[in-house]
């Protein structure tokens, strides 16, 4: 159950509604969206009448949602603006897909700087690089830690590129926040609920990667933890799941992209690097990801791929990245022009299908759309 208060609610009325919920033995979380404040009941309230709360002063609407992921399905921001280091990119909405590129791990100033300059020239809008590395073996390179974060800041600034980097524990968030623009939650940490809760208290975007054996529903529930904390800037990332197939490092589940785009409001990007583990497969799967509606790609790139400290087999060169950027623009623009053409034809002939006519005629917003409309604003 969600109580909606609209924009700038009267603080006293908000407090008295909170008191009424508490008196009814209900736990809740206040979520402040761009244009509305919500009280999201987190305890079981199936047997509670919503009516008694809908008549409370200040409450605009009470909505019951038959899902464990109401915010992930409808509340997060569909379009996320990432700003940092004098640069900017937008993920989701009607924007052209974004490219985030950089090494698996930050290794040195020279390595990071060389790849950032050339990746940017190839079309990258964001710089990635791990400072804290979740390695399967404790004997492998674990990342440069704080030193790596400082290098990300320095190189990001020099190239006006916002920076994405992984945090693995709640303790790493505060130090990392001073140096990075987007927190990444790695596949191994999608189930780290203390980490997700702490990221919910932050106000920087989060790239949330799908766990290696996580269902789409579990990914959305992980996103819900961050959203419920009030951080509406969650970007989901499909990076392959573990299956019986051994030809590729993981199996890229592009159906997940279409499922999420069809059900949730959150942007989705694809990581073809960890999905395949093989550099020759990055380009074809990048093409496929964009064709099926991904809002962007995050790709491991290195000026000397074979010398990468980690994940060398899947690293591509900046030149290869440039080819993918060209593919991506061609595919995205072609499909967009095609879809717009279809919509115009449908509108002109009045023979639109249900889905298209809903999109163009702007049919009356549902109750759910109304309650979450504020959250959807940038």
**Total binding residues toward Mn ion, as defined by CB under 5 A:** 2
Closest distance of CB 278 from Mn ion, Å: 13
Nearer to Mn ion, 74 or 311 (CB): 311
Instruction: For residue 219, state whether it binds ligand PEP (rule: CB under 6 A).
Output: no
Rounded to whole angstroms, the Cα distance separating 98 from 95 reads 8
* Tokens 């926040």 sit on residue: 177
Q: Which stretch binds ligand PEP (CB under 6 A): 37-45, 180-188, 193-201, 301-309?
A: 180-188
- Burial code (b: 16+ CB inside 10 Å, e: under 16) for 1-15 equals bbbbbeeebeeeebe
Instruction: For residue 302, state whether it binds ligand PEP (rule: CB under 6 A).
Output: no
Closest distance of CB 184 from ligand PEP, Å: 6
Q: Which stretch binds ligand PEP (CB under 6 A): 59-67, 185-193, 257-265, 353-361?
A: 185-193
Rounded to whole angstroms, the Cα distance separating 299 from 270 reads 9
- The site map against Mn ion for 303-342 (x = CB under 5 A) is --------x-------------------------------
Rounded to whole angstroms, the Cα distance separating 245 from 214 reads 17
Closest distance of CB 229 from ligand PEP, Å: 21
Task: Look up residue 253 and give its two tokens.
Answer: 């589940």
Task: Look up residue 283 and give its two tokens.
Answer: 């380009």
Nearer to Mn ion, 269 or 332 (CB): 269
Closest distance of CB 211 from Mn ion, Å: 15
Nearer to Mn ion, 141 or 191 (CB): 141
Vertex 211 angle, CA 314 and 122, to 5°: 35
Vertex 130 angle, CA 192 and 243, to 5°: 60
Task: Look up residue 215 and give its two tokens.
Answer: 């269902």
- The site map against Mn ion for 267-306 (x = CB under 5 A) is ----------------------------------------
**Neighbouring-strand partners of residue 101:** 127, 299
Nearer to Mn ion, 224 or 311 (CB): 311
Closest to 302 (Cα-Cα) out of 65, 143, 103: 103
Rounded to whole angstroms, the Cα distance separating 268 from 80 reads 11
For residue 365, report the phi and psi dihedrals to the nearest 5 degrees: -65, 140
Among positions 239, 249, 261, 376, the unique one binding ligand PEP when judged by CB under 6 A: 239
Rounded to whole angstroms, the Cα distance separating 32 from 34 reads 7
Give helix 354-361 / helix 318-349 axis angle, nearest 10°: 90
Q: Which does 86 bind (CB under 5 to 8 A by kind): ligand PEP, Mn ion, none?
A: none
Closest distance of CB 274 from ligand PEP, Å: 4
* Of residues 36-95, those binding ligand PEP (CB under 6 A): none
Nearer to ligand PEP, 45 or 294 (CB): 294
For residue 147, report the phi and psi dihedrals to the nearest 5 degrees: -60, -40
Instruction: For residue 274, state whether it binds ligand PEP (rule: CB under 6 A).
Output: yes
Instruction: For residue 204, state whether it binds ligand PEP (rule: CB under 6 A).
Output: no
Among positions 3, 40, 45, 104, the unique one binding ligand PEP when judged by CB under 6 A: 104
Instruction: For residue 296, state whether it binds ligand PEP (rule: CB under 6 A).
Output: no
Concatenated DSSP letters for 85-129?
A: TTEEEEEETTSPPEEEEE-SB---HHHHHHHHHHHHHHT--EEE-
Q: Which does 187 bind (CB under 5 to 8 A by kind): ligand PEP, Mn ion, none?
A: ligand PEP
Contact residues: ligand PEP, CB under 6 A: 104, 130, 134, 186-188, 209, 239, 271, 274
Contact residues: Mn ion, CB under 5 A: 104, 311
């Amino acid at each position: 159950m969600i109580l909606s208060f609209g924009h700038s609610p009267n603080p006293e009325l908000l407090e008295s509604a909170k008191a009424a919920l508490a008196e009814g033995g209900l736990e809740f979380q206040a979520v402040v969206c761009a244009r509305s404040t919500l009280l999201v009941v987190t305890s079981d309230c199936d047997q509670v009448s919503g009516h008694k709360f809908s008549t409370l002063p200040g409450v605009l609407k009470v909505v019951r949602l038959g899902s464990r992921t109401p915010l992930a399905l409808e509340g997060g921001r569909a379009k996320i603006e990432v700003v940092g280091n004098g640069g900017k990119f937008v993920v989701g909405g009607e924007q052209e897909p974004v490219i985030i590129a950089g090494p698996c791990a930050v290794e040195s100033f020279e390595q990071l700087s060389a790849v950032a300059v050339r990746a940017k020239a190839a079309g990258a809008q964001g710089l990635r690089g791990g400072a804290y590395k979740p390695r399967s073996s404790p004997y492998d390179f674990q990342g440069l830690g704080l030193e790596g974060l400082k290098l990300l800041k320095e190189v990001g600034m020099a190239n006006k590129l916002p920076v994405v980097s992984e945090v693995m524990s709640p303790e790493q968030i505060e130090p990392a926040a001073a140096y990075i623009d987007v927190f990444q939650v790695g596949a191994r940490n999608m189930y780290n609920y203390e980490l997700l809760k702490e990221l919910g208290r932050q106000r920087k975007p989060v790239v949330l990667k799908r766990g290696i054996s996580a269902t789409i529903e579990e990914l959305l529930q992980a996103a819900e933890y961050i959203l419920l904390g009030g951080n509406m800037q969650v970007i989901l990332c499909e990076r392959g799941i573990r299956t019986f197939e051994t030809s590729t490092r993981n199996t890229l589940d592009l159906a997940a992209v279409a499922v999420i785009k069809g059900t949730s409001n959150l942007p989705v990007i694809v990581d073809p690097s960890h999905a395949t583990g093989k550099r020759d497969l990055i380009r074809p799967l990048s093409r496929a990801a964009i064709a099926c509606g991904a809002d962007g790609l995050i790709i491991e790139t290195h000026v000397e791929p074979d010398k990468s400290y980690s994940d060398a087999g899947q690293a591509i060169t900046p030149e290869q990245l440039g080819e993918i950027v060209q593919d991506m623009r061609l595919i995205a623009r072609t499909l967009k022009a095609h879809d717009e053409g279809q919509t115009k034809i449908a509108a002109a002939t009045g023979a639109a299908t249900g889905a298209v006519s809903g999109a163009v005629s702007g049919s009356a917003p549902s109750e759910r759309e109304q309650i979450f409309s504020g959250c959807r604003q940038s």
